[in-house]
A and B are shown apart, each in its own frame.
Chain A
Amino acid sequence: MTASVALWASILLNGVAQVFLKKGVGHSNDDRVTGQWWLSLLGSGWVWCWFFSFIAATALWLLALSKLDISYAFPLLSTGFVFVAILSRVFLKEAISWRRWVSILIICIGVVLIAGK
């Protein structure tokens, strides 16, 4: 596997992991955090999907970084924000206002500036 494939696989897998996590923990309004709630997460298949995708994404990231410059790899991380927004709109039916899209793009630009040489 080339380093670039590992890098993109890591970014995409990390995005998918976040959507898995959201699917697993759902939406709640409870202002208390009970031990029972935490335990119930262990029984959620989606949460396990998040866990393993997250581990795999981290491993792929380390693999990519061992070959690529961090100043090249790091700005590409910001594509993950756009990817997660698209996934959450399609699979979680999240309503994303145009102002949120603009905010996401501004954050992406900032990350590219932070990471660049």
Chain B
Amino acid sequence: MTPETPFGPDTNFVEPTRAVQAERAFQLADIAVLGAVLLAASGHLMIKAGLNGAIFAAAHATSVGRLVICLTQPLVVLGLSIYGLGTAMWIFAVSKRDISYVFPIAALNYVFVTVGGMVLFDESIPTKRWIGIAVVVLGVALMQSAGRQGAR
């Protein structure tokens, strides 16, 4: 279908071929990987924020009681939902890529959670940990340049 412009039919429009559609799906998978990692990391941080705010009374001495308190914190519920959304994006990404490619990229999770912990909870990051973050990012960049393979 040729799209209409205010000046008549778009003469420059070319119907996307199968190859172009596949390429789009491929790029979408890259965005999904990053989205899944970001959502998982923010979910974890939100759960942590919720647990920080939880108040445990003497009545919640048992592990079941503590679990109930944890799971009824609004931020914990929100964090778990965001984590679930991230898992859905992860499933989509896995369907488009080699698992040996996407799984190590999920290590970016540790990077985002570490930096998020510093920003949100004033956790300090020693130099060695910064080096680790740089090394993980380098590894992920190399992974990208080494080729994605998977469905083509």
Contact = CB atoms under 8 A, between A and B. Distances in A.
A1 interface: no
Contact of A28 (B96, B132, B140, B145): B96
Contacts of A111: 107, 110, 132, 136
B128 A116 contact: yes
Interface of B: 18, 21-22, 24-26, 28, 91-92, 94-96, 98-101, 103-104, 107, 110-111, 114, 128-129, 131-140, 142-143, 145-147, 149-152
A39 interface: no
A97 B147 CA distance: 9
A88 B92 contact: no
A110 B133 contact: yes
Contacts, number: 133
Contacts of A115: 110, 132
Nearest to A86: B100
A78 to B, nearest CB: 7
Contacts of B138: 106, 110
Interface residues of A, number: 42
Contacts of B107: 78, 81, 107, 110-111
Contact of A33 (B92, B142, B146, B152): B92
A60 interface: no
A22 B147 CA distance: 18
Interface in A51-70: none
B31 to A, nearest CB: 12
A50 to B, nearest CB: 9
A105 B142 CA distance: 11
Contacts of B128: 113, 116
